Amino acid sequence: MSEDLLYHVDGDLVATDEATVNVRDRGFLYGDAAFETMRAYGGDVFEWEAHMDRLTETCEVLGLDYGLSDRELRDRVDETLAANELREAYIRLSITRGIQPGKLTPDESVDPTVVVIVSELPRGGRGSQPVWDGPATLQTVKTKRVPDASIPARAKTHNYLNGILARLELRVTGADEAMMVNTEGHITEGATSNLFFVRDNALRTPSLDGPVLPGITRHMVLELARDEGIPVEEGQYTPEEIRSADEVFLTNSTWELRPVETVDGLSVGDDADEADGTAAGPVTTLLSRLFDARVESAYYD
């Protein structure tokens, strides 16, 4: 139970109900903070270096020098996992600009707030059980993805209002994930996921040239597909192209690869695996197995 967990707050392990930040913290006041969502397999963090590269890039966008090395951050993550006796876990590492006077302009000097929270997940790798209850239902929303010129998509910050507004739209249909477009009407991503689809046996995904977060699992899936000889295309696509795709799936660190069953109420493709209820077509199934095999060999063998 989460009430029994210990979190890491500014260098100390504290009980969940004691894990707090100051109300004057800029992460609370303005969303002025960076974070990474990660997953531990067998006690080790999946793609740690890639997550740290993205965290560094976010902090460069924010002009936030938090003064800790990757090794120091890793120690805090490892301490949190060990204290909770977790080897399979969700991990969220947050770094805020800390407590500063009540003004929008940040001070140059920073005393950051660093928080690590964790929760238990199922084992990954071969034969693992997904964290999701079933294939996703996807819905195009009116809320547009914020242009890069306003808030760079590569900056993974606490300011998630754009995604929250998108998810609120799902209350009408009960869909699992929002499919967001940019101001030109091209697909970008989900509220908390990257989007892939298959057409003519080729794997396609929105390009990072648009306002798309460079997901760590996204990168891994593209690498696996290319290694397997699956044609890959990164481009600009319309909602209609997703609705008429042969297969659709979503990725993030927690979901890994999650098949999509319907897009805007329309069933996806004709090759979904009805027997096991995954709604995954052949390319999605292959990539899921390759992903599980990569995790198995890297973290369990």
Per-residue burial over 179-190, b = 16 or more CB atoms within 10 Å of its CB, e = otherwise: bbbbeeebbbbb
Architecture in CATH of 2-120: 2-Layer Sandwich (3.30)
Long-range contacts from 203-207, C-beta under 8 angstroms, 24+ separation: 203/230, 203/231, 203/232, 203/233, 203/283, 203/287, 204/232, 204/233, 204/234, 204/235, 204/237, 205/232, 205/233, 205/234, 206/234, 206/235, 206/236, 206/237, 207/234, 207/235, 207/236
pLDDT digits (tens, 9 = 90+) for 186-198: 999 999 999 999 9
Q: Does pLDDT of 271 surpass 90?
A: no
State the chain's mean pLDDT as an integer.
95
Cβ–Cβ < 8 Å for 38, 32: no
User: Strands (DSSP E) along 121-169, which ranges?
Assistant: 136-140
**Can you tell me the mean pLDDT for 19-41?**
97
**Can you tell me the mean pLDDT for 10-21?**
96
Q: What is the pLDDT of residue 37?
A: 98
Token representation of residue 53: 């590269």
Q: What is the pLDDT of residue 3?
A: 62
Domains 2-120 and 136-299 alike in fold:
no
CA atoms within 13 A on the CB side of 193: 24
pLDDT digits (tens, 9 = 90+) for 70-125: 999 999 999 999 999 999 999 999 999 999 988 999 999 999 999 999 999 999 99
**Can you tell me the mean pLDDT for 171-190?**
97
Q: Which residues contact 121 (CB under 8 A, 6 or more apart)?
A: 39, 40, 88, 89, 90, 131, 254
Q: What is the pLDDT of residue 275?
A: 42
Q: What is the pLDDT of residue 1?
A: 44
Instruction: Please compute Rg for the chain using Cα positions.
Output: 20
**Can you tell me the mean pLDDT for 32-49?**
98
pLDDT digits (tens, 9 = 90+) for 229-265: 999 999 999 999 999 999 999 999 999 999 999 999 9
Fold of 136-299: D-amino Acid Aminotransferase; Chain A, domain 2 (3.20.10)
**What are the boundaries of each domain within the chain?**
2-120, 136-299
The percent of residues in the chain predicted with pLDDT above 70, rounded, is 96
Separation in Å, CA 155 to CA 22, 73, 81, 89, 168: 24, 19, 26, 24, 22
Q: Does pLDDT of 281 surpass 90?
A: yes
Q: pTM (2 decimals)? A: 0.94
Q: Is 267 left (phi over 0), alpha (psi -120 to 50) or beta?
A: beta
